Structure 1
Amino acid sequence: MNFLQSLIIGLILSVAPMTLYAGNNSSDQHLSHEGSAVAPVSPITIGVLGDSLSAGYGIKTEQGWVTLLQHQLKQAGIAAKVINSSVSGATTDAGLQMQAGLLQNAPDIVILALGANDGLQGKPLALIEQNLSVLISRAQSAGAKVLLLGIQLPPNLGRRYTEPFFAQYRTLAQQYNIARVPFFLEGVAGVPDLMQTDGLHPNAQAQPLILNNIWPVLQTLIAQVSPPDIK
């Protein structure tokens, strides 16, 4: 073996292996049909833009459904990172200001969970729908799939307001051809054991149930944006 051959072999052996993001149990590198190593799959990015219901108001951050989502992705072996841009008290107006920072991260999926505070404040339905429309359009223009989380308002606000408020999420999902969870607090809202003392915010016990409402629809979107497995 001459000097040049020895040098090439030494360089090959000195290269450190590349690892996948997301901490799953797959090998560090995928192999092609010929057995040669190929580049690892890049993680997808999921952005969450919401209010206190997604920011984990009144509970520990690690107990919130968004943090639980991060764990769920890891357990499912999905290479993904989650960016939570939710802020307690945020309205759709605030969301318009917050969204630019989220989109700078080039998310593949944007989970949009806003509107509850607008409704509680009795803002005009036309304004809420217009703001949600802009939020959806911006995310789509940035190349992201959108998952719209519907929310219902307490009945004491009156059916003339609460029914069209809830219906707007379905209308927007159809208009923009996006995925929707009709009511992401289904089975949680109104259940005393699952709510904090204010009656508005889910407690820690409710967070896995919220994620269960979201996960099946989100899984479908993840499959759409994830690169195909290398066989």
Structure 2
Amino acid sequence: MLKLKNKQLELNFRDRDFNIFLKLCYFSLVIMLLSCGSDSAKKADKTKTVPIKTEIKSTAKSTTKKILFFGDSLTAGYGLEDVKDAFPACIQSKIDSLSLNYIVLNAGLSGETTAGGKSRINWVLNNKNIDIFILELGANDGLRGIPLKETRKNLQAIIDAVTQKNPTIKIVLTGMQLPPNMGIDYTTEFKTIFPELAKKNGLELVPFLLKNVGGISALNQADGIHPTMEGHKILANNVWVILEPMITL
């Protein structure tokens, strides 16, 4: 009798274990189905078309043209209260009044010689797309009595650097003259440098930048060399005569 009871208990335990096993299998099956469903959903999400964001950058370049004035204290507006009173800025005002699409850049440096200009020209031209280049240098060479051969050579080097940067740049050379106290031979040869270089290189020429200003005390500062604000307006007119036909074609 005891053996039968033990046998019965053993069967009961086996049934209970089997039921637990079935439950575990059922639970595992549910987990697997849910997991497969989740993976399928993820795969389905991955197959969806994802819109590509395209950044459209404008390739249109500014149409504003640039005029660079490269010179000494005359270009820099030495002695004036504001550089906006210097002749390059006066020319900008003329341009604006005609609604022309040009901007003036002033690269004047007081005390600059042709040698100094030669050494900094590449730096000034760097990353600048210049359309018209106004070269105003040489006066300080003459006042210091620098050998004219050197002045001519330096000016030619500056012209070469500009044309090498961009052969399409239009160059305007501003002529200069010296007071007679420098000696007739020196002053005469100095005066000829500018028209000769202009002719040789096919440049536009302002015959004498200080025309109607040089030697007139009322239009110059106390040093008798640097123009007043009124004097700069005249300088601007002297350049404008040559520049206007170039930018209004």
TM-score, structure 2 length as denominator?
0.72
Q: Does 1:220 align with 2:240?
A: no
Q: Does 1:48 align with 2:69?
A: yes
- Equivalent residue for 1:112? 135
Q: Does 1:82 align with 2:107?
A: no
- Cα RMSD between the aligned structures? 1.6
**Secondary structure in 1 matching 2:209:** coil
Compare the two structures and name the one with the higher helix fraction: 2
- Structure 2 CA distance for aligned equivalents of residues 126 and 88 of structure 1: 22
Provide structure 1 residue ranges, at least 5 long, that are not aligned to the other structure. 1-17, 19-38, 225-231
Provide structure 2 residue ranges, at least 5 long, that are not aligned to the other structure. 1-57
Q: Does 1:145 align with 2:170?
A: yes
- Structure 2 CA distance for aligned equivalents of residues 56 and 213 of structure 1: 16
Q: Does 1:92 align with 2:114?
A: yes
Opposite residue 65 of structure 2, the aligned amino acid is: I
**Secondary structure in 2 matching 1:68:** helix
Larger Rg: 2
Q: Does 1:58 align with 2:72?
A: no
- Equivalent residue for 2:22? none
Correspondent of 2:212 among 167, 187, 190: 187
- Structure 1 CA distance for aligned equivalents of residues 240 and 202 of structure 2: 19
Asked if 2 retains the 8 angstrom alpha-carbon contact of 1:106 and 1:142, the reply is: no
- Structure 1 CA distance for aligned equivalents of residues 123 and 62 of structure 2: 25
What's the CA shift string for 1:28-58, capped at 9, x where partnerless? xxxxxxxxxxx79701111111000110000
What's the CA shift string for 1:67-122, capped at 9, x where partnerless? 11111111111111111111000000110122113222121111000000011110
Correspondent of 1:170 among 185, 189, 195: 195
TM-score, structure 1 length as denominator?
0.77
Correspondent of 1:101 among 123, 129, 140: 123
- Structure 2 CA distance for aligned equivalents of residues 221 and 177 of structure 1: 14
